[in-house]
Amino acid sequence: MAFESIWLGVFASLTAGVATTLGAIPVLFMKDISHRVLDTMLGFSAGVMLAATAFSLLVPAIELGGVEVSVIGFIVGGFFVYLLDRYIPHSHIIKGSEGPSSSLSKVSLLILAITIHNFPEGLAVGVSFGGGDIAAGLVIATAIGLQNIPEGSAVAFPLVREGFSKKKAIWYAALTGLVEPVGGLVGVSMVSIAHFLLPSGLAFAGGAMAFVVSHEMIPESHRKGHELEATFGFILGFAVMMFLDTILG
């Protein structure tokens, strides 16, 4: 069963990651997309992620391990991503460079930024499958895949604006999704081998995702002056995920 869970977790996180490619494909047919639309899509993705964090990660963590374990895991998860963000050099398309200075190329720094962003998503999928609850794992994988589609557009179109070819923009968007099965493998292996870690793992993944939403996605969606559109996108994404969690969970 553990072996089956590991493969399911890796496959589901890979499938969710590949969804970024779907979001990038429109660059082949459109010259550009407005910042207003991109910010609305980012808000939608943030809403989906936060709802998945609350309903599919934190609620089960509290039910399985109690509030104390969940609170500690949540805080540690958020702090873990903070350390990655603080000490790994990376660059955001809009915000620019963060972390320690580096001689890496701009493309490499962009990929590192998206790696920091996407690793917790794959981890969340893997941890969910590692607990043996296939339905819960499918809910998280669906949530991550759903928010990865607009995220693919949010990666590809700005890259084209930066001067990258359309094919390279799609390739880099697809490449960002390949980080997620790595997180999925870590999460599902950890919980499958040591099942008692499931509540902590769920809360840890929840804290990691909450940090990404608050520190990266919401600020990015508000940076160009489209706060209202991004907020309504957030509300819609949260509502969609709340509905999906109810019918799939």
CA-based nearest residue to 93, from 220, 1, 188: 220
Using alpha carbons, select from 108, 147, 116 the residue that is nearest to residue 237. 147
CA distances from 87 to 17, 32, 103, 110, 208 (A): 25, 33, 15, 15, 16
Return the residue matching tokens 């991004």.
230
Residues 4-9, mean pLDDT to the nearest whole number:
75
Task: Please give the Cα distance from 18 to 225 (Å, whole number).
Answer: 30
63-89 per-position pLDDT tens digit: 999 999 999 999 999 999 999 888 887
The number of CA neighbours under 13 Å toward the Cβ of 157 is 22
Band of residue 96 on the pLDDT scale cut at 50, 70, 90 = low
Q: pLDDT per residue over 158-193, tens digit each?
A: 788 778 888 888 888 888 788 888 888 888 888 877
DSSP track, 130-175: HTT-HHHHHHHHHHHHHHHHHHHHHHHHHHHHTT--HHHHHHHHHH
- Token pair in block for residue 31: 């010259």
**pLDDT value at residue 128:** 84
Residue 211 has pLDDT above 90, yes or no: yes
99-128 average pLDDT score: 76
Token couple for 121: 């998503």
Percent of the chain predicted with pLDDT > 70: 91
* Distances, alpha carbon 94 to alpha carbons 21, 75, 154, 211, in Å: 21, 27, 11, 18
Supply φ then ψ for residue 32, to 5 degrees.
-165, 170
More confident residue, 227 or 117: 227
Q: Which of 10-24, 73-87, 92-106 has the highest mean pLDDT?
A: 73-87
**Distance (Å, rounded) from C-alpha 126 to C-alpha 12?**
8
pLDDT reading at 228 higher than 90: yes
- Average pLDDT value for residue range 4-22: 82
